[in-house]
Amino acid sequence: MKPLVFNSTPLIYITKIGLSRIFEELKGEKFTSPSVKREVVDKGKRKGLADAIILEKLFQKDIFKVVKPRNVGFFETLLQTKGLHVTDAEVLATAKERGGKAIIDDEVARKTAKIYGIPYAGTPYVLVKAISQGLITKREAKQAINDMISAGWRCSVETYAKIIENIEKLGKNKE
């Protein structure tokens, strides 16, 4: 099972909609970077965001291992990509080094991952994985997508339709 390397958006939105337990229950290693932790916990707490407090508790429980990219040269190469944020570069470099899957929603980050052959998926992948592990139902996952959109998570109408279709395709026993 490939480790999952989380960027900020999946952590924030899954927590915002009240499903942070998924992170605790999801099988396999979960990583993130120091700058992602700063963004979702430190900056979030300064803004008084409830999700930041919940995420801080998950970090304190070591649900996510916070690691820096070891290959500084590759990390610096990634940083030369126009529009790629430091958090994205850290997540991509870590995913490549650890043979993991980057959980990223940013379009520039996804295109960069593709160019460098780094496996990636978006926030809905986490929900699909949760369905397959029996942590949530298909109905709960579809509601989660709608709740994330209501909370400010963005996706196109086409992407929304694909997400719902992929959830529906999962086994009948996952209702």
Nearest to 102 by CA among 79, 125, 129: 125
pTM for the predicted model, two decimal places: 0.93
8 A C-beta contact, residue 124 and residue 163? yes
Q: Could you report the per-residue pLDDT of 8-35, keeping only the tens digit for each?
A: 999 999 999 999 999 999 999 999 999 9
Structure confidence by residue, pLDDT tens digits, 132-146: 999 999 999 999 999
In the chain, domain spans: 4-123, 125-174
Backbone φ and ψ of 129, nearest 5°: -65, -40
H helices within 8-137, ranges in order?
8-16, 21-25, 34-37, 44-46, 50-60, 72-79, 86-97, 107-115, 123-132
Output the pLDDT for position 175: 54
Q: Tens of pLDDT along 38-88?
A: 999 999 999 999 999 999 999 999 999 999 999 999 999 999 999 999 999
Strand order in the sheet with 65-66: 65-66, 30-32, 4-6, 101-103, 120-121
Cβ-based burial of 173 (10 A; exposed 0-12, middle 13-18, buried ≥19): exposed
The predicted structure's pLDDT at residue 172: 57
Confidence of residue 1 (pLDDT cuts 50, 70, 90): confident
Q: Does domain 4-123 have CATH number 3.40.50.1010?
A: yes
